[in-house]
């Protein structure tokens, strides 16, 4: 069987792209990154791809009068790279229904929250504001309903009392880098079966470490006294 071809769409830093490249070099991706497409000419992700000799192309959304024009150019570039799978790895443009339909069942996204909690932007700050104790990330198939497609893999991390959005983002990013390559590999090995809103994953999903939710270090210092229950009037 031919090695599955993967086209990665990026907008910025490119650390998830780096994790995919590392997995391919380690023989753990199940496919080959055929192209990296980016909507920003100044994105550091382009240099990460370029340093590995991966073909890159910039399709700047700003140069198009409207979204259909941008998406037509993007689709042309994707199709020219002949991918079996399209991966949105920090791609920060909302994609229209027609575009999404074109790649239905073969486009994955990594999102920095435990969906369906916190779709959209600014997930870490919102999670902290809500006081959640568990946060994480999700790899899902892309549907027209943004951040609501069938979930493939999730990984959780503990939220610590002294976290700010930056420290929490860094902890989540660590597990993003584990589950995105794992999800891509499962797709390439044809181990993902979409059934309605659910995805069945055949075989090993992800290294167990990705699911570890260590207790916050600060939990040892919890001093809140739990009041004794007065049962005298019961």
Q: State the catalytic residues.
A: 111
Say if residue 139 is exposed, middle or buried (CB neighbours under 10 Å; 0-12, 13-18, 19+). buried
171 forms part of the interface with ligand GRF (CB under 6 A): no
Closest alpha carbon to 108 in 30, 45, 184: 184
**181 belongs to the binding site for ligand GRF (CB under 6 A):** no
Determine, following the binding rule CB under 6 A, whether residue 90 of this chain makes contact with ligand GRF.
Answer: yes
**Which of 176, 179, 183, 185 touches ligand GRF by CB under 6 A?**
176
Specify whether the CB–CB gap between 176 and 16 falls below 8 A.
yes
Q: Does 174 bind ligand GRF (CB under 6 A)?
A: no
Q: What share of the chain is helix, strand, coil (3-state, %, to 5)?
A: 35, 20, 45
Which window, 6-14, 30-38, 70-78, 186-194, contacts ligand GRF (CB under 6 A)?
6-14
**Least spacing, CB of residue 183 vs ligand GRF, in Å:** 12
Cα atoms in the Cβ-side hemisphere of radius 13 Å centred on 172:
27
> Among 7, 15, 39, 81, which residue interacts with ligand GRF (rule: CB under 6 A)?
15
* Distance in Å, CB of 229 to ligand GRF, minimum: 44
Q: What does the block give as tokens for 31?
A: 């496919």
Please answer whether residues 210 and 179 qualify as being in contact, where contact means their C-beta atoms are separated by less than 8 angstroms: yes
State the residues that interact with ligand GRF by CB under 6 A. Answer: 12-16, 45, 89-90, 110-112, 137, 173, 176
């Amino acid at each position: 069987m031919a090695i599955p071809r993967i086209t990665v769409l990026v907008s910025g830093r490119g650390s998830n792209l780096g994790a995919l490249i590392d997995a391919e070099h380690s023989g753990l991706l199940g496919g080959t990154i055929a192209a990296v497409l980016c909507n920003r000419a100044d994105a550091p992700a382009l240099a990460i791809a370029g340093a590995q000799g991966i073909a890159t192309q910039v399709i700047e959304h700003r140069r198009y009068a409207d979204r259909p024009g941008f998406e037509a150019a993007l689709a042309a570039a994707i199709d020219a790279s002949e991918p079996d799978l399209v991966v949105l790895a920090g791609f920060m443009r909302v994609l229209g229904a027609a575009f999404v339909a074109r790649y239905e069942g073969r486009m994955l996204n990594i999102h920095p929250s435990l969906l369906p909690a916190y779709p959209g932007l600014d997930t870490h700050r919102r999670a902290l504001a809500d006081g959640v104790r568990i946060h994480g990330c999700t790899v899902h198939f892309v549907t027209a309903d943004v951040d609501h497609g069938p979930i493939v893999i999730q990984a959780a991390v503990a939220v610590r009392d002294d976290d700010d959005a930056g420290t929490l983002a860094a902890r989540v990013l660590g597990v993003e880098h584990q589950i995105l390559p794992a999800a891509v590999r499962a797709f390439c090995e044809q181990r993902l079966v979409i059934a309605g809103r659910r995805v069945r994953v055949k075989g090993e999903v992800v290294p167990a470490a990705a699911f570890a939710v260590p207790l916050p270090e600060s939990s040892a210092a919890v001093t809140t006294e739990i009041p004794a229950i007065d049962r005298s009037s019961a």
